[in-house]
Amino acid sequence: MSKAVRACASARVLLDLDDVDGACNRAYYAMFDAARAALLTSGVLAQPHLMKTHSGLMSAFGLHLIKNGPLSRDLGRLLKRAEEIRLVADYTGDSVELDDARELVR
């Protein structure tokens, strides 16, 4: 979980420096690493084949911690939205809206 906390702190710093794309990247990885920590704590990561890809981790997170609880569907939706925004920030020439970055870094 410490990796997620560091990524979250980095996202806040980057947003304060007006680096919207960098903030979105770090915010996504904060959520991604927190999801990994939650899966690890729940015992799901005993199945390493689930962790080879981002989509594998997100599927496991949705199936084991969102669909049947204990976490809310809103968290699953936010993680998916963060991934979509990060992909725009990292791999396209399109600008990410400041409000979208703020939503992820809150």
- Which domains can be identified in the chain, with CATH numbers? 2-105 (1.20.120)
Q: In this predicted structure, what is the pLDDT of residue 106?
A: 86
CA angle 90–94–100, rounded 5-degree value? 75
Q: How many CB atoms lie within 10 A of CB 101?
A: 23
Q: In this predicted structure, what is the pLDDT of residue 49?
A: 63
Q: For residues 6 and 45, what is the distance between their CA atoms, to the nearest angstrom?
A: 21
Residues of the chain with pLDDT under 50: none
CA angle 43–75–86, rounded 5-degree value? 100
Per the CB < 8 A criterion, the answer to whether 42 and 65 are in contact is: yes
